[in-house]
Chain A
Amino acid sequence: MTVLRLKEIEKTYDSEFTLAPLELVIEEGEFFTLIGPSGCGKTTLLKVIAGLVTPDKGTIHHKGQDITEVVAERRHFAMMFQQPHLFPHMTVEQNVSFGLRMNKVPKTERTRRAKEALRQVGLESFAARYPSELSGGQQQRVSLARALVVEPELLLLDEPFSALDPQLKDEMQHLVKQLQKQLGITTVCVTHDQQEAFLLADRMAVMKEGKILQVGAPHTLYSHPDTRDVASFLGHTNVLAAQDAAALIPLTSLVRDNQLVIIPSEAIRLEETGTLGVIKHIQLQKDTALVTVALSKFEVVAKVWASRASNYKLGDQVFLNVEPNAIHLIPN
């Protein structure tokens, strides 16, 4: 079932398009991610959904009802921000039950539900503390509990993990994903972090300059990007003209000259026979290495196990082979 439908949404700041007219559909229970470089309008779009920003044009429907004119405080959504935004003069429990208090839920029920939400995020013993006594990660958990406790129609996440250090980030991502599935909350998340999007999203939308470029399941987008922009944003470095790619892989006559061939770096293998190239650069990562190989007219990047990369050095001659099923064609 469709939970949210955005039609022809448009927003302009200072005569510059922040959001070009765009369409978006969010389905019940899914984890939907908006991803794109900074300044692409993803946060503005999230705020439009939240009701914090009023669009210039277009409509928003929530479960069939037009909510375009409904203010944020009447939408019954919940949101986590980059900063926890806990109110420093309230205890953890008061912070968590804030939304219930605003909706005039009786005090005893408020307390009960706040305790339950705190239990879900593993902070039940912190109810009486003040935010200043908590660590950054704990504060963000309280912020999550505050969002969950109102049983929102829609959970909005505005890069809530980006200010956390790596280990905490992992923990929080898993916690959010687990609770989201368990409670079946429809979620829209903004991020610029691809890893995060692939980890969390059921579907995602890639945005650039206020437009949605493509929507789909993360791995579908990765293996079948529609445009060069989507491909390069998702990390494809080997986007080759058809005539260049022919040097690496036999292409059928169906491939026209004006098409581009995308070869995922992990689909290129370094072997004993194949197309000859010279190693120009090796970038070691924890478990894999990116090896840049120069061919006659162009360069490609191959992803190999880091342990194998140590066998090579700059200037070595190598032979390349490409996994034919992994390649993807897009129009130029």
Chain B
Amino acid sequence: MSMWRRNKYALFVLPAFLLTITLFFGGLADGLLKSFGYFPAIGQDTLRLSFYQQALAERAFQDSLFLNLRVALLSTIFASILGITLALVLYAFQLRSKRPWLLRLLQLPLTIPHLAAGYFMVLVFSQSGLMARLAYAVGWIDAPAEFPVIVNDAFGWGMVVTYAWKEAPFVALLLYPVLARIGSGWYDTARIYGARPWNYISTILLPAIRPALLTASLIVFVYTLTAFEVPYLLGVTYPATLPVYAYQLYTSGNFEDRSQALAIFWLLTVVTLLFGWIAYRFYRKSYDRGWE
């Protein structure tokens, strides 16, 4: 009986498990072999580390890495700040019960695909975009070229703005349930003991959402570090972010470049798995902590 039970549950997991193993880990392993130069189809069946060495030695790689870290870090910071604000405002207005349409409105960016979000930002922030036109209207600039380059810029502001807009509701979505569990009892208690609204936010609300916030920002960081679509649309040719740089290498058609591309993606994967594991630990921790 108990043997059958255990086997039955193992059977339940099996389809999902097999799909993940073949399609995901299979792909990763396949890529790993190729990153070591293993292409038996063209007679390359020795494993070499040289592609990693080559990839790391490229000036383009270092520039890409630098750009990548900068964009991911700034995006995470802005998305987190905006997300916290959003979650706190939602909490303060208790939108869920009273104004559900407003909650939906603020979650709008969650639904919009990244490519679309990126293009919206082009229309808002490019040198002939809405902001430039407004700046002209109030007399700050006299020609499009005077408007600062925000999208398709070497610094990566266009990507940062897109990610901040797109991921802030995501951050808020992870934080809001934690806040929603806090009843008015906490606020009453804090006030009785002398807490002003700002004290309440800084000593109670922010620490309470910290584990969830860490999870959310790690996810945003990992995503912005490895995403392809937005930098492909909003970046410049050089330096490109690592995923775009790797994609360019891969599609150049040369087997050596392909191995290098896969080597770069493997490095990224190791980093993301590490961050992912940390994020998951924080997530479980915030999940397990005893709330009233």
Among B193, B207, B208, B210, contact of A78 (Cβ-Cβ < 8 Å): B193
CA distance A86 to B203 in the complex (A): 13
CA distance A275 to B49 in the complex (A): 109
- When the two chains form their complex, are residues B189 and A79 in contact, meaning their CB atoms are under 8 A apart? yes
By a CB distance below 8 angstroms, the chain A residues around B210 are 89
A228 to chain B, nearest CB (A): 36
A247 at the interface (CB under 8 A from B): no
Segment 96-110 of A: residues with Cβ below 8 Å from B: 98-99, 101-103
Given A81-B188, A85-B189, A89-B210, are A73 and B292 neighbors across the interface (CB < 8 Å)? no
Given A88-B208, A89-B208, A89-B210, are A83 and B292 neighbors across the interface (CB < 8 Å)? yes
By a CB distance below 8 angstroms, the chain B residues around A210 are none
A146 at the interface (CB under 8 A from B): yes
- When the two chains form their complex, are residues B290 and A88 in contact, meaning their CB atoms are under 8 A apart? yes
Which stretch from B58-66, B133-141, B194-202 is at the chain A interface?
Answer: B194-202
Segment 178-217 of A: residues with Cβ below 8 Å from B: none
CA distance A132 to B199 in the complex (A): 23
CA distance A74 to B193 in the complex (A): 9
A133 to chain B, nearest CB (A): 8
Contact with B along A58-99 (1 / 0, CB 8 A): 000000000000011110111101011111111000000011
A52 at the interface (CB under 8 A from B): yes
Segment 181-217 of B: residues with Cβ below 8 Å from A: 185-186, 188-196, 199, 203-204, 207-208, 210
A131 at the interface (CB under 8 A from B): yes
Contact with B along A38-49 (1 / 0, CB 8 A): 000000000100
- When the two chains form their complex, are residues A146 and B193 in contact, meaning their CB atoms are under 8 A apart? yes
By a CB distance below 8 angstroms, the chain B residues around A150 are 193-194
Q: Size band of the B side of the interface?
A: 20 to 34
Name the CB-closest residue of B to A97: B193
By a CB distance below 8 angstroms, the chain A residues around B186 are 85, 87
A26 to chain B, nearest CB (A): 17
CA distance A159 to B190 in the complex (A): 18
A126 to chain B, nearest CB (A): 15
CA distance A150 to B193 in the complex (A): 8
By a CB distance below 8 angstroms, the chain B residues around A52 are 188, 191-192
A279 at the interface (CB under 8 A from B): no
Contact with A along B2-24 (1 / 0, CB 8 A): 00000000000000000000000
Segment 275-314 of A: residues with Cβ below 8 Å from B: none
By a CB distance below 8 angstroms, the chain A residues around B101 are none
- When the two chains form their complex, are residues B290 and A73 in contact, meaning their CB atoms are under 8 A apart? no
A50 at the interface (CB under 8 A from B): yes
B152 to chain A, nearest CB (A): 43
Given A81-B185, A131-B290, A132-B290, are A87 and B192 neighbors across the interface (CB < 8 Å)? no
Instruction: Rank and list the top 9 A-B pairs by shortest CB-CB distance, nearest first.
Output: A132-B290, A99-B193, A102-B194, A72-B191, A85-B189, A79-B192, A89-B207, A85-B185, A73-B191
What are 22 pairs between A and B in contact, CB < 8 Å? A50-B192, A52-B188, A52-B191, A71-B191, A73-B192, A73-B193, A74-B194, A78-B192, A79-B188, A79-B189, A83-B185, A85-B185, A85-B189, A86-B292, A87-B208, A88-B291, A88-B292, A99-B194, A102-B193, A102-B194, A102-B195, A132-B289
B residues near A, CB below 8 A? 185-186, 188-196, 199, 203-204, 207-208, 210, 289-292
Known: A73-B192, A73-B194, A150-B193. 17 other contacts (CB 8 A): A50-B192, A51-B191, A73-B193, A74-B194, A77-B192, A78-B192, A79-B192, A85-B188, A85-B292, A87-B186, A87-B204, A88-B291, A99-B192, A99-B194, A101-B203, A131-B290, A146-B193
